[in-house]
Amino acid sequence: MTAKTSSYIGRFAPTPSGHLHFGSLVAALASYLDARSVGGRWLVRMEDLDPPREEPGAQTAILKALEAYGFEWDGEMVRQSDRHAAYAEVLDNLFNHGLAYACTCSRKQLEAYGGIYPGLCRNAGHDSADAAIRLRVPELSYHFIDRVQGEYRQHLGREVGDFVIRRRDGLYAYQLAVVLDDAWQGITDIVRGADLLDSTPRQLYLQELLGLRHPRYLHLPLITQPDGNKLGKSYRSPPLPEDQATPLLLRALRALGQQPDSALHDATAQDVLNWGIAHWDANLIPRTLTLPEAQLQ
């Protein structure tokens, strides 16, 4: 068989605020199989934008877990902490063109607005030092067709408001960094958790503003508790045990709607991944998923 060549470039972009858990394994696996099944590249990017929220040792632990589970990434891993100059350049440009502005509102002042910034500083002309920088959003609805979730639509003005691209403490926001890095790395396909579905219209707008291509999107099923509630951020699922790669990969495959052979129970992690590459069918991925408590681990 000749090696397939493909223009597909996918990525897994963990935040080192903690260890990998079952949900991250599902995201890593889906992005990996979606890329490898078409002969594409798969990159790992460490989203270490927020040192105060970083758990010491998490970066090493994440990479070790990926290796223990048989994942192989292409090229050098990229760290967002090495990309500040690129973010600063774009941010300054947006600011200098009046597309972004400085906001000095306190958290307390904004409490009453339910998370949608009411534009208080839009025309204030504040200095950018010691202020958050917000991107002006248009009074427009953005929509896209997600490969699993279908059509998704969001009105940026009414549902999001002008959003922060650099925090007051100088840290760059996820929305800006992710768009610049996905473009810089040539990512064609984004496969990630459904919790980021509602960030996508902001990212589409940034791409449009900066003249960048829109990647294709696949948002994985939202994992709900048996009572139908979304898994809360406060829910601490345990770290992936390194000696359970095969059973947890099989469980993750099933969560993604794939039907791995029972013979794989005794296989290595590598064999499970190879089976996944050969049999991957993204059309089988369910839109939502209720996991019995026992499967969360």
**CA-CA-CA-CA dihedral for 227, 198, 82, 57, to nearest 10:** -10
Which of Zn ion, ligand GLU, none lies near 120, with the C-beta cut-off 5 to 8 A by kind?
A: Zn ion
CB 154 within 8 A of CB 201: yes
Which of Zn ion, ligand GLU, none lies near 47, with the C-beta cut-off 5 to 8 A by kind?
A: ligand GLU
Secondary structure E strands in 76-215? 78-79, 100-103, 132-135, 141-146, 150-155, 163-166, 189-192
Task: Please report how close the Cβ of residue 59 comes to Zn ion at its closest, in angstroms.
Answer: 34
Tokens representing 148? 């699993």
77 belongs to the binding site for Zn ion (CB under 5 A) = no
Which position among 166, 192, 202, 219 is part of the footprint of ligand GLU (CB under 6 A)?
Answer: 192
Span 136-175, contacts to ligand GLU by CB under 6 A: none
Which position among 178, 187, 197, 272 is part of the footprint of ligand GLU (CB under 6 A)?
Answer: 178
The pairing of strands 189-192 and 216-219 is parallel
120 belongs to the binding site for Zn ion (CB under 5 A) = yes
> Which of 85, 107, 61, 71 minimizes the C-alpha distance to 241?
61
Binding window for ligand GLU (CB under 6 A); candidates: 7-15, 226-234, 236-244, 268-276: 7-15
Binding window for ligand GLU (CB under 6 A); candidates: 11-19, 34-42, 130-138, 215-223: 11-19
Which position among 10, 14, 23, 215 is part of the footprint of ligand GLU (CB under 6 A)?
Answer: 14
100 belongs to the binding site for Zn ion (CB under 5 A) = no
CA distances from 265 to 24, 67, 69, 71 (A): 21, 19, 14, 18
121 belongs to the binding site for Zn ion (CB under 5 A) = yes
The residue behind tokens 């994985």 is 220
- The site for Zn ion (CB under 5 A) is made up of 103, 105, 120-121
